[in-house]
């Protein structure tokens, strides 16, 4: 039997963008629920300058919050707002 991935804060993950919802993307990280990735969680992104990420795209991100009762949140920047290989 295969164990399901349980996201932990600061984990680096690869996910597939499955949906676009207003100001964020829904990302499948093979966890118990889909993760949320805000459009402003990319280096240089703003509400006016949004990243061009398509459904089905792969993203390399880090888990910034994980709670058993809430969907995990992802970010494609480090604590200093730099991509540092994420994206």
33-71 pLDDT, tens digit per residue, is: 999 999 999 988 888 888 889 999 999 999 999 998 899
Please tell me what DSSP assigns to residue 28.
Answer: E
pLDDT, position 54: 95
SS3 64: strand
The pTM assigned to this predicted structure is: 0.89
**pLDDT band at residue 84, thresholds of 50, 70 and 90?**
confident
pLDDT(75) > 80: yes
Query: d(Cα 37, Cα 53) in Å, to the nearest integer?
Result: 11
- Look up residue 15 and give its two tokens: 């996910």
Does the pLDDT of residue 4 top 70, yes or no? yes
């Amino acid at each position: 039997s295969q164990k399901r991935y349980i996201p932990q804060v600061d984990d680096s993950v690869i996910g597939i963008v499955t949906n676009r919802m207003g100001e964020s993307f829904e990302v499948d990280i093979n966890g118990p629920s889909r993760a949320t990735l805000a459009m402003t969680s990319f280096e240089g992104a703003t509400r006016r300058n949004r990243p061009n990420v398509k459904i089905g795209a792969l993203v390399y991100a880090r888990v910034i919050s994980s709670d058993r009762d809430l969907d995990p949140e992802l970010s494609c920047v480090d604590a200093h707002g730099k991509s540092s290989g994420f994206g």
